[in-house]
Amino acid sequence: MKPGLLTYYLLAVFSMLFWGLTFVWFKIANNYYEPITIIFIRLILSSVFLFSFILAGKKNERIHREDYKWVALLALAQPFFYFLGESFGLKYVSSTISSSIIATIPLFSPLAAMWFTREKTSIYTWSGILVSFAGIIFMLVNPDLSLNAAPKGILLLFFAVFSAVVYSVIVKKLTHKYSALTIISRQNLIGAIYFLPLFLLVDLKGFLLVKPNTDLVMAMLQLAVFGSCLAYLFFIMAVARLGMVKANIFTNLIPVFTAVAAYFVLTETFTFQKIAGIALVVMGIVVSQTREIGQMIRRRSTLSQP
C-alpha cells in the first residue's frame, strides 16, 4: 500500500522542524568552531551514518554516468554554496531572523519551477506564498522600517536562498531516477570533498585548539543526524510526491520552529511581532494547500460512504 498524501505532508513538516532546529544547534557549535569546520564535520558525520545504513541494508544504487554532472552540481548548490551563505550569515544575524530569510525560498521556487520543470502553480499556492512572505517580512522589519539584522548577513543568507532554489530544480530531476537515500548520501560526501580544502587552509589550526565538550558534541551530532540526514531524506521524498513548489512552501515553517527553539534554548526574545509573523506564516501554509486538502477530504468522505 502506497503512503497517502498526509504522509508526505508530515515528512515535509518534520524536515522543516529539523532544519529549524539546526539554526539553534549551529549557534551552539559556533561558540567553539568556525562555520567551515562545523559544516565539514557535519557532512563527514552524516556521510558515515548514511553509507553505514546503505551497506547494512544493501541499498546501494549505481549513479549513471550521464548523471555525474547533475550530482556534482547538486552538491555544489547544496551543501557547498548553501551552507557557506547560511553559516556565515548566521555569524551576523540572529537564529530567528536567519531562518526567516531562508523561508523566502518558496517565493522564488515557483519561478524556477515554471522555467525549468514546467511545474504548474495554482492561485492557492501563490496566495499562500504571499501571506507567508508577509509574515516573514513582519518578523524581519521593525516598526520604523529598519532591519532587524546586519545587511552583510542578509546578503549572505539570500545567497543561500538562491542556492537552495537551484538545488530544488536539480533534485526534482534526480528523484525520477534515484531514491532519496542515494541522492543525499552522494550529495553530502561530495559536499565534504568540496569543503576539505577550505577546512585544511582556513580552519584546521583553530579546530585543533578546541577541546570538545558535551554541548559541542551533541550539537554536531544533531546537525549531522537530523539536519544533514533525516531532514534531507524527508524533504526529497516530499518533493518527489508533492512537487518542488508545494514542498518548498513548507520552508515557511522553519522560522516558526526556530523562534520557539531559540526562545527556550538561546533565550531569544519572543515578541508580539514574532507571534503575529508566525501566525501569518502558518496561515499561508494552510492557504497554499487548500486545494489539495479539500481533495483529500472529499476522497476520504467518498471512501467512507457505504
Domain ranges of the chain: 5-304
Q: How far apart are the first and last CA of the chain?
A: 22
pLDDT digits (tens, 9 = 90+) for 231-282: 999 988 998 888 877 787 788 788 788 888 888 887 777 677 777 877 787 7
pLDDT digits (tens, 9 = 90+) for 75-129: 999 999 998 998 888 888 877 777 777 777 776 776 666 666 566 667 877 787 7
Strand partners for 141: 147
The reported pTM is 0.79
Nearest to 61 by CA among 181, 164, 157, 158: 181
Asked if residue 1 has pLDDT above 50, the reply is no
> Which H, E and C letters describe 187-229, residue by residue?
HHHHHHHHHHHHHHHHHHHHHHHCCCCHHHHHHHHHHHHHHHH
pLDDT digits (tens, 9 = 90+) for 138-189: 877 777 666 666 788 888 988 998 998 888 888 888 988 898 899 999 999 9
